[in-house]
Amino acid sequence: MKLRLTIILTLLVSLTFGQEEFPIYDQISYIDKFDQVYKDDQLVIESPFAKADLSFPETFNWENRKVEKVTYYYSKNNINPTFEQNDLSNKRYINLISAFPQLGNADIEWETAVQSGCSTDECAKQLFHGFVIEFTKEMTGLVPEFQSVIGHDQLHRQVFKIDPNQQNVVKGKNGTMVIIPENAFEDKEGNIINSKVTISLKEAITLEDIVFGGLHTMTSDNQVLMSKGMIEIRATKGRHQLGLRDNKSLTVVIPTKYEEGYSYYNGEESEEGLKWNDPVPVTNQLATVGINERSAKLIGARFEKIRYADPVYEGDSLVAIKIHHWERDQLVTREDVEDHAVSNTRLHYKIVRMIKHWFRTNKFEERDLHKRIWINTCYRFPGLFGFARKWDGMIWRYNLSDPEMANIFQMNRMGWANVDCLAHLKNTQKTRFNIDLPNSEQYQELSMNLIIPRVNSMIPGFKLSNGNWSFTHGEYEDKVPMPRNEKVFVMVSGKLGDQQYFNIQEYKLGQKDINPITINEVSREMMINMIKNTF
């Protein structure tokens, strides 16, 4: 009866999914052999050589455990070229899913690692065959000792599978949207990737996320930043990291309030943690994105009609005209429409003549846009391209339904990105703000951070030669400009042996030069709750 039930179940699953739909074929990598170093946050399910049977644990509690990745291992050699490896792999996968249906979750990353280091069956029989299931560290429930609460690994890693041959949109659980152009990725040899790619995304949008992620808001030259959200995005093929091709970029939409003056910063890993550099101003318009209709629908963008041209004044002087093409903006200056430079604008001569008139009179006339200009102007209508001979001075373009809650920028490399501006706190004066932690020398792995909630800033502290802690640029700097009476928090963590000590305490800047703090023994759950209840 048991054999009959297994055969029926295998047939049902096989009919439901074709081989190409099994996730074990999403990412395939080749290794010499699998080094069987098992970790506490893994579940290992072994299979005999050349058989589909799986050795399941007698009991296993899935409560409070979230699967992050499953890796399937098998061996390959050329001794028996007619061996139906795909059939065997399919049966193993079906047996695994039959026992653990929760592994069918689309958020789980899958990889197949083919061990090709053996040339004989005798050698291959010594290798591991089967599945290794990895759990997210913050939800394993497997490790009895204290696990880290603060760090990049504590941010939820979201996994997406995409077809790189078409434009894709990745949407994070906290609202981040990433538009990925077609044929965007290459491997380290420069080969274009045209089969399935795994995208991983981490979001740190709120102050709570920033604190849990241990993400300091400091530039590479130690200037304090105010953050509107950070992300980490990676692309992999099998075990290999992928990069963006030179002519490709990702369009990222961070769902926080747009304000002028903010920029996108690249994140660089350093011994002190992430440092942010190379700022580029952000926008809240999709004007520079060659977005298709499918992607527009996924991110909630809509077509809207806008004026073809807008003036740019400095005082009373007309210094430029901003031309709105459907896919981008173009800034045209007085010099651009001089006779020798007209061809560089790529604009029709009648439009150039109109712009020249505006510069000559130092006045932008909106009514000029509504005159009939008998030229072939390419329009973009919802769902079709077309040509029109009557021009009403308006163009169609995509825009977000709520552009005031969007910070948009182009990423030209994979990794960390941050929407920030240099901190411009009001009512500042040079202030000494030091922290006194009694008996600090007895703690191991001691760290201290200053957190300014109003501007989403987290600044690392350092220990002074007198034993106190400071948040300046170095011991040489005793005072720094700080806003008086600003509410801030100091977060301290350290260890005594295997036990964690921790505290978060509120202060008002400028009230005392030296401020005392103590830390107490905590459990992991207590530490998490203290952070959540504070931020």
Q: What is the DSSP string of 220-289?
A: TT--BEEEEEEEEEEEEETTEE-EE-TT--EEEEE-S---TT-EEEEEEEETTEEEEEEEEE-BS--TT-
**Encoded tokens for 237:** 């093929």
Cβ atoms of residues 478 and 498 within 8 Å: no
Q: Which residues pair with 415 in a beta bridge?
A: 233
Tell me, what's the pLDDT at 148? 72
Return the SS3 of 23.
helix
- CA–CA separation, 201 and 75 (whole Å): 31
- Burial class, 504, CB count within 10 angstroms (exposed 0-12 / middle 13-18 / buried 19+): buried
Count the neighbouring beta carbons within 10 Å of the beta carbon of residue 243: 17
Residue owning tokens 């103590």: 518
pLDDT of amino acid 372: 42
Residue 230, both tokens: 């950070």
d(CA 165, CA 62): 37
Q: What single letter denotes the amino acid at residue 506?
A: E
Helix H, strand E, coil C: the string for 66-103 is CEEEEEEEEECCCCCCCCCHHHHHHHHHHHHHHHCHHH
* CB environment 375-389: b (16+ within 10 A), e (fewer): eeeeebeeeeeeeee
How far apart are alpha carbons 346 and 481 in whole angstroms?
A: 49
User: Residue 458 in contact with residue 216, Cβ under 8 Å?
Assistant: yes
pLDDT values of the chain reduced to their tens digit, one per residue, 535 residues: 444 444 444 444 443 444 447 888 878 888 888 887 666 678 899 999 999 999 988 777 777 677 888 999 999 877 777 788 999 999 999 999 988 888 887 778 888 999 988 888 889 898 999 999 988 754 333 333 445 788 887 888 888 888 999 989 899 999 999 999 999 999 989 999 988 898 999 999 999 999 999 999 988 888 889 999 999 999 988 778 899 999 899 999 999 999 988 999 999 887 777 889 999 999 887 754 566 667 777 777 766 667 788 899 999 999 999 887 755 678 899 888 876 555 566 787 778 888 889 999 999 988 777 664 444 343 333 333 333 334 556 665 566 667 788 898 999 999 999 999 987 767 778 889 999 999 999 999 899 999 999 989 999 999 999 999 999 888 888 888 888 888 999 999 999 988 999 999 999 998 899 999 999 999 988 999 999 999 9
Residue-by-residue DSSP string for 341-355? GHHHHT--HHHHHHH
Question: Do 110 and 23 contact (CB within 8 A), yes or no?
Answer: yes
Provide the 8-state DSSP code for 118: -
List the beta bridge partners of residue 132: 44, 71
In whole angstroms, give the CA distance from residue 134 to residue 150.
20
Contact 235, 281 (CB under 8 A): no
Cα–Cα distance measured from residue 64 to residue 66, given in angstroms and rounded to the nearest whole number: 7
Task: Give ∠ CA 312-284-402 in degrees, rounded to 5.
Answer: 120
Q: What is the pLDDT of residue 237?
A: 86
**CB-CB neighbours of 395 under 10 Å:** 21
Q: What pLDDT does residue 90 have? A: 93
